[in-house]
Amino acid sequence: MSESTTRPRSPRPPKRRWPLLAGIGLAVIAVLAVAYTALSPATNPTATAGSSTGVEFTATTLSGQQVEMPGGKPSVVYFFTVNCGTCGPDAQALAQLQQTTPGANFAAVDLDPNETVEDIRGFLDTNQATDLPYAIDTDSRLLSGYQITQIGVAVVLDATGNEVFRGYKPTTEQIETALTEAGAR
pLDDT (tens digit, 9 = 90+) per residue, 1-23?
555 566 666 665 556 666 666 66
Whether 49 and 90 have beta carbons less than 8 Å apart is answered as: no
More confident residue, 103 or 16: 103
Lowest mean pLDDT among 22-26, 122-126, 147-151, 172-176: 22-26
pTM: 0.72
Predicted pLDDT at 80: 96
Beta-ladder partners of 109? 79, 135
In this predicted structure, the answer to whether residue 185 has a pLDDT above a threshold of 70 is: yes
Chain segment 146-159, per-residue pLDDT in tens: 999 999 999 999 99
How far apart (Å, rounded) are the C-alpha atoms in residues 28 and 163? Answer: 36
Long-range contact list for 134-138, CB < 8 A, 24+ apart?
Answer: 134/59, 134/60, 134/61, 134/107, 134/108, 134/109, 134/110, 135/57, 135/58, 135/59, 135/60, 135/69, 135/107, 135/108, 135/109, 135/110, 136/109, 136/110, 136/112, 137/109, 137/110, 137/111, 137/113, 138/113
How far apart (Å, rounded) are the C-alpha atoms in residues 102 and 115? Answer: 29
How far apart (Å, rounded) are the C-alpha atoms in residues 25 and 18? Answer: 10
In this predicted structure, the answer to whether residue 24 has a pLDDT above a threshold of 50 is: yes
pLDDT band at 54, cuts 50/70/90?
confident
Predicted pLDDT at 135: 96
Give the mean pLDDT of 109-130: 96
Give the mean pLDDT of 54-63: 91
